[in-house]
Amino acid sequence: MEKNAKFDFIAKKIKTEMRKLQIPGVAIGIYHHGEIHTAGFGVTNVDNPLPITPQTLFPIGSISKTFTALLAMRLVEKGLLDLDTPIKKYLPNFKMKDANTKNKVTMRHLLTHVGGWSGDYFQEQGDGEDALAKIAAEVAHLPQQFPLGEMFSYNNSGFYLAGHVIQQICQKPFETLMQELVFAPMELKQAYYFIRDYCGKRFTVGHHNAPDVPPIVLSQYGCGRMANPAGGIVTNIEELLRYARIYLHKGKNEHGNRVLSSDTIHQLLVPQVSVYNQEQDKQSIALSWFYNELGDIKVYSHGGGVTAQCALLAFAPEHDFAFALLTNSSAGIKLLHLLTPQIYLQYLGINQSMPKPKRWPASFLKQYLGTYAGSTGEKIIIDKNEKNLIFQFIPSPEIMDQLKIPAEHRLNPPTIEIGLVSEDMWVIVGNEFPGMRGEFIRDANGNIAWLRAGRVAKKIN
């Protein structure tokens, strides 16, 4: 199958799934051995529709974290930042609720999600240049879930602090530094933080998807300036592929010109912390990039989700391959999980199959049942049916308020069947979210104490 045929196959899959999932708009871009194929499908906004093109702007959410890590490394290059020096050196008035964390937390901790405190905090702090300073003062009061550096738990607020450190070191706004040290050298001319800079261009809005009703346009856009280091970038498929190619080519741009040192690229991609360490499923975090070995192929990736828009960027350096997928729907997460294995199979020959759940006695499954509390009020309830466990995520009203999710969109959370593939490793049963997994974590006495599905939640009963 030639490259065009491969892309056409993926495009057909996208259109089929868009209809099933009622996703208004999608953009796809694939780079492989020097060839680029991009396409747009659907519309930007069901209320005021414009066709999606490869130039259409989407918020990329947490893919922005990889840009923040790169910006931090630009300061390392200049001798202005050391990743392993406690950040209190750069923030004279720095405070945290936990004294050990206050004294020892480093930029490396922040960029690898091992800070240990409550990670999801989205209280807006206005549009001024002091937004990061304000959010840092509030992060100081967040509870410590587990000791600094002990385990991975996805932490948005750690990136607020990372952005604040960068801004304080250089005494310039975070967004200005990103433009000067990352966007401009890498020739990313269509990457933005502020809507005033792209309001005259074609961009998408988010759509909430609920069963049996058409997609609903959400008026909320982004999480505020304080969240820019964690998830604030708006850009398009073409720019994301240009960005990924610099990683593939060890710091050189599409014209062969060096824009980053190869050592910087290397440091960004070295695995740092284990995320999942089961025999069947190993994943690590590098400096913000997630690292997986799919067979003998090394893949780096990061997803993003903000205001009902979902995104994914992934690349495989040894195969000169990258792809980006952008959607403007809360159902986009399903599309990402359905399409990613198909893309890997077509282009890399990876038959990505998760291990199948085993049958376990009901008496054995009892130890996992109960309620698990997240750091910001969310809860996960684990129950069981005749064969497997049942997972239900209940978001906290406070987070829904911070994200400005309207009351009519706060539907009863669905239940999802999960199955154990080993004693503590689970995967979702069925094809709705293929590849999604998590694990239970035991305490020193061997009792189930935590559940990790990206974030860590503590068992409370």
- Which residues 6+ apart lie within 8 Å of 354 measured at CB? 280, 281, 421, 427, 434, 435, 437
How much is the pTM? 0.93
Pair of tokens at residue 291:
């690292």
Contact in structure between 329 and 309 (CB atoms under 8 Å): yes
Determine the pLDDT at residue 1.
41
Count how many Cα atoms sit within 13 Å of the Cα of residue 19 in the half-sphere of its side chain: 5
The label of the residue with tokens 């975070």 reads: 174
DSSP per-residue string spanning 136-184: HHHHTTSPB-S-TTSS----HHHHHHHHHHHHHHHTS-HHHHHIIIIIT
Taking the C-alpha atoms of residue 247 and residue 456, their distance in angstroms, rounded to an integer, is 30
Beta bridge partners of 43: 51
Determine the pLDDT at residue 3.
53
Pair of tokens at residue 209:
């998807």
Determine the pLDDT at residue 99.
95
| Alpha carbon separation from 53 to 20, 56, 262, 427 (Å, rounded) | 21, 5, 33, 35
Beta bridge partners of 203: 57
pLDDT in tens, 225-266: 999 999 999 999 999 999 999 999 999 998 899 999 999 999
Taking the C-alpha atoms of residue 55 and residue 421, their distance in angstroms, rounded to an integer, is 42
Count how many Cα atoms sit within 13 Å of the Cα of residue 442 in the half-sphere of its side chain: 8
Distance linking the first and last C-alpha atoms of the chain:
54
* pLDDT band with cut points at 50, 70 and 90 for residue 209: confident
Q: Is the pLDDT of residue 184 over 60?
A: yes
Taking the C-alpha atoms of residue 351 and residue 347, their distance in angstroms, rounded to an integer, is 11
Count of positions (residues) in the chain: 461
Q: For residue 358, count CB atoms less than 10 angstroms from its CB and return exposed for 0-12, middle for 13-18, buried for 19 or more.
A: exposed
Task: Give domain 362-459's CATH number out of 3.30.60, 2.40.128, 2.30.30, 2.60.120.
Answer: 2.40.128
Considering the chain, tell me which residue range(s) the CATH 2.40.128 domain(s) occupy. 362-459
Among 159, 155, 210, which Cα is nearest to 411's? 210
CATH architecture of 1-353: 3-Layer(aba) Sandwich (3.40)
pLDDT in tens, 212-223: 788 989 877 878
Pair of tokens at residue 176:
């200005």
Among 244, 266, 267, which Cα is nearest to 254's? 244
Determine the pLDDT at residue 409.
58
Determine the pLDDT at residue 386.
86
Beta bridge partners of 291: 284, 300
For the chain, what percent of residues have pLDDT higher than 90? 75
Considering the chain, tell me which residue range(s) the CATH 3.40.710.10 domain(s) occupy. 1-353
Determine the pLDDT at residue 399.
64
Amino acid at 184: A
Residue 432 three-state SS: coil
Residue environment code for 11-48, b if the CB has 16+ CB neighbours within 10 A, otherwise e: bebbeebbeebbbbbbbbbbbbeeebbbbbbbbbbbee
Q: Mean of the pLDDT values across residues 157-168?
A: 98
CB under 8 A, 24+ apart: contacts of 406-414: 406/218, 409/208, 409/210, 409/216, 409/218, 411/210
* pLDDT band with cut points at 50, 70 and 90 for residue 32: very high
pLDDT in tens, 56-89: 999 999 999 999 999 999 999 999 999 999 999 9
Q: What integer best gives the mean pLDDT of the chain?
A: 92
